[in-house]
Structure 1
Amino acid sequence: MPDISTTMIIVLCVAAAAAGWIDAVVGGGGLLLLPALLLGLPANVPLTHALGTNKAVAIVGTTGAAVTFARKAPVDVRVALRIGAAATAGAAGGALLAGAFRKETMTPVIMVVLLLVAAFVIFRPAFGAAPASGPVTRRRVVAAILLAGLGIGFYDGLIGPGTGTFLVLSLTALLHLDLLTASATAKIVNAGTNAGALAVFAFQGAVLWQLAALMAAFNLAGGMAGARLALKKGSGFVRMVLLTVVCALVVKLGLEQWA
């Protein structure tokens, strides 16, 4: 593990707990976790090590939240696992190409998409309030596997910001889920994207395992606490946090792009 002060390790652990909470409720914990690692690690630590350590921490909290949700929320685990398997493959492919990709070229596009998402959620208050009646068709499941699985999984391995949020929105729209069930399903899928990217980073030796293990314990505690609160508060609470995270992500990407 690189030479990091005790104070900075404490800060990173607190950030990991907060990121786990955010990620469990609606996704987007990487908004806090990855910047904290980039600021907290010594300057001589390669960027890929921050990315790999971020995935090693996040997968623990995401998996813990997924288990908590699956026990109490009406999640179709079979469908979620099928989407998650596709997401694992997509994220691995994205991680392989991450070193050759310039994030700056995509940031403005991502910001526009997020602003449209925020406007849609604000002006469509019924979106995700309740599931549609009737079973989910096979065509919708296939669309979710391709878009939420392969597509968003590839994005997570390649860039990452807002993956959980995009998963919640796409699953709500494609599978006609309420926001709470979509968030629960997204945790299972997100565990797959983290696993795919982590496998690549681990193979490349780009994971600080000792630091990751310590931060992962705090991330797990935050993730399970967030999942329990989301189950208690319901879709309205998830909607409020969703809008907050989307706005925060737009601001963060804007500062990175033009500050």
Structure 2
Amino acid sequence: MMSGLEEIQLSTIVLVVVAGFAAGWVDAVVGGGGLLQLPALLMVPGITPVQALATNKMGSIFGTTTSAITYFRRARPDLRTAVPMALVALVGSFGGAMLAAFLPASVFKPIIIVALVAVAIFTAFRPTVGTLTKLRYTGHRHYGTAGAIGLVIGFYDGLIGPGTGSFLIIAMVTLLGYSFLGASAKAKIVNMATNFGALVFFLPNGSLLWGLGLILGGANMVGGYLGSRMAITRGSTFIRVVFLAVVGALIVKLGYDVWVENIR
């Protein structure tokens, strides 16, 4: 079993770096970078699925942290909503990672596909949704809804993972009334917490490949910084377009996974 970088060829490391950069960029704009990053890690010779998941979380936390800081400095998201939501999501993510050890993700994938298709149709045919922030609730109802979103999607991130940022954004746009830009800024703070929650579960069992994870994290940081700056500059319309593209890719990816699992 591999323990670091000593058995990995340079071409494979380059592939991981490119995937990490692209994943960081996508995650910073709309989430869903795991679609690029995790498959690249699974191509590393000798790596186990658990090692890939743990190393993926380590790389992602560098990127989401960089994006969160960039959004905070330039977009000033409301921390009164984002921080409690992130704390609840961290607990949910840890619980999801625990359940992932016992319950196969294939049980949930068909449900996720249906949800993604509904999200894509809703977003495509409601072009004004997410253009401006028009909060649906105030006070305890607002924070209670935000906490519920964080718990459910945090749990999903620990259990399955791909598309967590996208789910966070669409939930905050449709259920809370934020613009795509405002939702994306808060989603990075919450996503940072979900990555950390899952990583805390993986750390004690020695699954993390530190050398590869640090390289992946560096690539994620660069992609996350550039992606968040572009999203802030281009605004909600740009984020909406990228969001639809990523959700479409998620539908194809999860649909293919279900098809492969059913023909085995």
Same fold (TM over 0.5): yes
1:10-48, Cα deviation, whole Å (9 max, x unpaired):
010010000000000000001111111112x22x43211
- Supply the AA of the counterpart residue of 1:22: V
Change (3 A) 1:47 1:67: same
Q: Is the 8 A contact 1:141 1:175 kept in 2?
A: no
Q: How does 1:58-69 map to 2 (within 5 A)?
A: 58-69=60-71
Q: Give me the whole-angstrom Cα distance separating, in 1, the residues matched to 2:210 and 2:109.
A: 30
Contact 1:90 1:150 in 2 (8 A): yes
8 A contact 2:133–2:179 mirrored in 1: yes
Equivalent residue for 1:33, pick from 34, 37, 50: 37
Q: Residues 205-237 of structure 1, C-alpha deviation per residue, up to 9 Å, x if partnerless? A: 111011000111111000000000000000000
Q: Give the direction of change, closer, same or farther, for the CA distance of 1:238–1:131 in structure 2 (3 Å limit).
A: same
Where 2:101 maps in the other structure, the secondary structure is helix
- Rounded Cα–Cα distance in structure 1 between residues aligned with 2:144 and 2:98: 25
Residue 116 of structure 1: CA displacement? 0.4
Which residue in the other structure is 2:147 paired with?
145
Is the aligned partner of 1:20 residue 2:24?
A: yes
1:119 aligns with 2:118: no
How big is the shift at 1:6?
0.3
Query: Who is 2:53 aligned against?
Result: 51
* Partner SS, residue 117 of structure 1: helix
Q: Greater CA deviation, 117-126 or 136-145?
A: 136-145
Any idea what the Cα deviations from partners look like across 1:119-168, whole Å, max 9, x if unmatched? Answer: 0001111110101169733202111112x211110110011111110000
Gaps of at least 5 residues in structure 1 are: none
- % identical aligned pairs: 46
Contact between 1:81 and 1:189, CA under 8 Å: does it hold in 2? yes
Query: In structure 2, what residue type is equivalent to 1:82?
Result: P
Other-structure match for 1:158: 159
1:55 & 1:242 partners in 2: Cα distance? 21
Query: Superposed, which structure 2 residues align to 1:232-251 within 5 Å?
Result: 232-251=233-252
Greater CA drift, 121-130 or 17-26: 121-130
Moved over 4 A (4+): none
Q: Report SS of the residue matched to 1:255.
A: helix
Aligned length: 256
The structure-2 alpha-carbon separation of the partners of 1:232 and 1:201, relative to structure 1 and needing over 3 Å to count, comes to same
Q: What's the C-alpha RMSD, in Å, of the aligned pairs?
A: 1.3
Q: 1:196 to 1:134 in 2, by over 3 A?
A: closer
6 and 73 in structure 1: CA distance in 2 versus 1, 3 angstrom threshold: same
CA distance in 2, matches of 1:74, 1:121: 25
Separation (CA, whole Å) in 2 of partners of 1:104 and 1:150: 21
1:175 correspondence with 2:176: yes
Query: How far apart are the structure 1 equivalents of 2:135 and 2:105?
Result: 40
Instruction: Give the TM-score taking structure 1 as reference length.
Output: 0.96
Contact 2:136-2:175 within 8 A present in 1 as well:
no
Q: Check the 8 A contact 1:79/1:141 in 2, yes or no.
A: yes
Tell me, in whole angstroms, the C-alpha distance in 1 between the residues paired with 2:112 and 2:101: 19
User: TM-score scaled by structure 2?
Assistant: 0.94
Residue 135 of structure 2 contacts residue 178 of structure 2 at CA under 8 Å; is this kept in 1? no
Partners of 1:229 and 1:116 lie apart in 2 by: 27
- Secondary structure, in 3 states, of the residue corresponding to 2:184? helix
How many Å apart are 1:117 and its aligned residue?
0.3
In structure 2, the partner of 1:202 is 203
- Measure, in 2, the Cα distance between the counterparts of 1:10 and 1:136: 48
